[in-house]
Structure 1
Amino acid sequence: MDHRLSEAEAADLTGERSFTAGPPHRVGVELEWLVRDAADPGRPIAGPRSDRAIGPLEAAGTLPGGGKVTREPGGQVELSSRPAEGLAACIGGVETDLALVRSALARRGLAADGDALDAGREPLLVVDRPRYRAMAAYFDGNRSGMRIMCSTASIQINLDAGEETGRFGYRRRWALAHRLGPVLTAAFANSPLLDGRPTGWKSTRQASWARLDPGRTRAVDGDDDPRRAWARYALDARLLCLRREPPADWSAPHGLTFRRWLRGRCTEREPTVDDLIYHLSTLFPPVRPRGWLELRMVDAQEGDDWIVPLAVATMLFDDPDATAAAWEATEPLTRGRDRPSWTLWLRAARIGLADPALREAARACFAAASAALQRGDAPDRARDAVAEYGRRYIEPGRCPADDRLAADPSPPVTADLEVRS
């Protein structure tokens, strides 16, 4: 039963729930896809059409491969895998379920698009739920907010937090996730266009997150104790929404942080454990702890290239030799700190692998991941996909955004996307 929370209890509960210690062995992935009209890609997709295409899969619950399908506010399709025992099982399950998703869309004349940002269509709230209406109200007047909600797609990689101590402890894996974050941002940047024009960023999606609401979207500040750092971040973040009984609106009081709510600054009602747990689901830093670690910095990729960031990240975290190599490769990025500065995250989003330090780190990390894939029982398609991506992008210091920019020589338009470090 819910009870009144003290500030200390809320901090302790946040840390405990967000880092579940244990031997790392599971892997999962969440794939977001923009949805296009197969015959007219620029045509907006209305809610009823999206309902008819994806609604039956949502209602079915768990799919044959173990995953689940949901929809994001703008009608983006999200396929969430089950927590799998290893890379091969994860890929196999996702491929089974993704085939169903693509088939369901095709029957309605729709297609899953691998763009990370809808560069042409205006943001449109397609899925009408109290949470999404409250989010839209929270970001009222902020174009980046509606863009993030309705017009972006990403690949989220989920890995166990790690053991309580040691080389595979959650503290070390938390630090490694932040070291690798800018590298993965740069290597897979795939959203350089907006309104049909270059923005000056290789990952406009990540730039949009960065400028949106720093207290809930930027990386968590460094701390020797990740549980303590995450609790501080979470309690100091503003409420995105406040759940109420239908048909009441979920909009939160302006400027109310969870810490202020705990201190009695909202007279509507007192916060509960359930409120805290829900609040944690509304925080979106590039590395988010939810018992496991969510890596949220990777842009969506075309076709089956989603396999590449999944395979690379899994090897760099779970293969001992690859982990050691990744730690060494990212050491120059930290400048004597445990993790890179936020400035480096922004540089990764802006220029990708044109940054020499990020390029060298990416090459070393891909080499380590490729070697680990060769040693293990990874499927051939994962080995081949990583090797091909490395040849196509990592070795020449490119990313998918460069392909899109090569096809569009227009000068950049950056006024809407300047981000302070």
Structure 2
Amino acid sequence: MPSPSRTLTRALAASLTEVTTRGDGRELIGIEREWPLRPVSSPADRADLPTLQRICDTPLPAAGRPTIEPGGQIELSTQPASSVDRALDALHLDTAELGDRLRRSGLTVHDVAVDVSRHPHRILTAGRYAAMEEYFAAHGEAGTWMMCNTASTQLNISHHPDRPADRWRLAHQLGPVLVAAFANSPGLDSDGTRWESLRQAIWWSIAPTRTRPPCTVRPAAEAWLEYALAADVMLVRGDGDTAHSQLPGFSFEQWMDHGHEAGWPTADDFTYHLTTLFPPIRARGWLELRMIDALPSALLEVATLVTATALTVDAVMDSLLAGLPRTEHLWLDAARSGLAHPTLRQAATLLFDEVEGHLSVTTAVPERRAAVRRFADRFVAAGASPAQSIASDVLRTGFAPRLRPFDLPVPTLQSA
């Protein structure tokens, strides 16, 4: 919570962000998978919070960590693993056990990235989530949709032990390509615009100071510091679980330089502020890749293998850095058009071609390598995404989010 006097300096903030942009020399991977849940007896309702808490409190066989999202989605996070195969095997083992628990409790999971059948509704009551919802409401309804009705596949990959800058840069180049290749949430917004990844469109419509990617021209530590200081303060924490939302337009830099009626930010406030930033790729001592839609198990394996091979096999990383077309500006195009966009299709073709020749480095399972080939043949070669195979009636049923203008600028530091 804030301090009555000024304690946080820019140098200290820089040191706190710099730590998040370097690893400890190990190559590890983790996977996070989300699902919307429905009570079997009343599908229009949300899961009961005490029931979910009981399910999540019992350890899973592979030591994965289940957590509850604001709208009652459940997220499963694997332990960091030394190989993709170990991470996937652990995910499947814990998924099976978690699924059994949910079924015994009268709940069913859905492999969808956007739940359009129910209006967004928050079941978590902690002060953080109430303040988040209030803050997002000032920007429109997309934030509540994100919190309550979306689900993603998140990959956590270590910073490169020797070349962290290259992995950081390539991850941002690949981001829109991964959105397009694995788009799995076709839908219409309230204006009737069709999206291949409605989930990504929802994220892009949220407060731009905390959901757009940082500048990748500058070194990662410098770019992440500038991004964090320029981002609006979402909430100010008080005693215990209390949190007070802050209206948009008050950056952390302003708080640090001019204070607030609640006091001055501390190092702990800045570290907490970093957890309220949601760019497509977030530095946390590793890279969180947050841009891929929730996927069924078979496609999740493909997305994990392709991404991990591209970012952890140096020969593939070098080829992609040298040969990928510029895609960093195509996030919105990826969400709207998927691989129908010619530049993204070109980039995805190169990505899969390079990855396929090195899959034996990242997986010892022949069927997993074959699945990547089948995905390339079925989707990439056709310039299509998984969204194309979802029934078109999904586009015309249920609720549609109202999205805000996408051309809003991302603020930079006042002192920059």
The answer, yes or no, to whether TM exceeds 0.5 is: yes
Match of 2:80 among 63, 66, 83: 83
Match of 2:322 among 317, 328, 337: 328
Higher relative contact order (CA 8 A, sep 6+): 2
Query: Partner residue of 1:130?
Result: 127
Query: Partner residue of 1:250?
Result: 244
CA contact (8 A) 1:14 1:227 kept: no
Query: Partner residue of 1:401?
Result: 387
Amino acid at match of 1:30: E
Assess, with a 3 A threshold, how the Cα gap between structure 1 residues 368 and 24 changes in structure 2: closer, same or farther.
farther
Amino acid at match of 2:50: D
CA displacement at 1:92 relative to structure 2: 1.3
User: Aligned partners of 2:10 and 2:362: how far apart in 1?
Assistant: 44
Assess, with a 3 A threshold, how the Cα gap between structure 1 residues 417 and 329 changes in structure 2: closer, same or farther.
farther
User: Aligned partners of 1:58 and 1:197: how far apart in 2?
Assistant: 38
Trace 1:166-181 onto structure 2 (pairs within 5 A).
168-181=162-175
CA displacement at 1:50 relative to structure 2: 4.2
Trace 1:40-51 onto structure 2 (pairs within 5 A).
41=43, 43-46=44-47, 49-51=48-50
Trace 1:21-40 onto structure 2 (pairs within 5 A).
21-23=23-25, 25-38=27-40
Amino acid at match of 1:118: D
Match of 1:143 among 120, 141, 144: 141
TM-score, normalization: structure 1? Answer: 0.88
Structure 1 portions without partners, runs of 5+: 335-339
Deviations 1:370-413 (A, max 9, x none): 222235543334223322322221221111211226455759x8
User: Aligned partners of 1:99 and 1:197: how far apart in 2?
Assistant: 39
CA displacement at 1:174 relative to structure 2: 0.6
User: Aligned partners of 1:150 and 1:279: how far apart in 2?
Assistant: 21
CA displacement at 1:5 relative to structure 2: 3.5
Query: Partner residue of 1:312?
Result: 306
Amino acid at match of 1:148: M
- Is 285-294 or 137-146 further displaced after alignment? 137-146
| Alignment RMSD (CA, Å) | 2.6
Match of 1:420 among 402, 407, 410: 407
CA contact (8 A) 2:172 2:216 kept: no
Amino acid at match of 2:16: T
CA contact (8 A) 1:24 1:159 kept: no
Match of 2:372 among 386, 398, 404: 386
CA contact (8 A) 1:36 1:111 kept: yes
Match of 2:227 among 221, 224, 233: 233
What is the number of residues matched between the two proteins?
Answer: 404
CA displacement at 1:114 relative to structure 2: 1.1
TM-score, normalization: structure 2? Answer: 0.89
Match of 1:215 among 209, 212, 229: 209
Secondary structure class of the residue paired with 2:229: helix
Amino acid at match of 1:98: T
Structure 2 portions without partners, runs of 5+: 409-416
User: Aligned partners of 1:254 and 1:333: how far apart in 2?
Assistant: 32
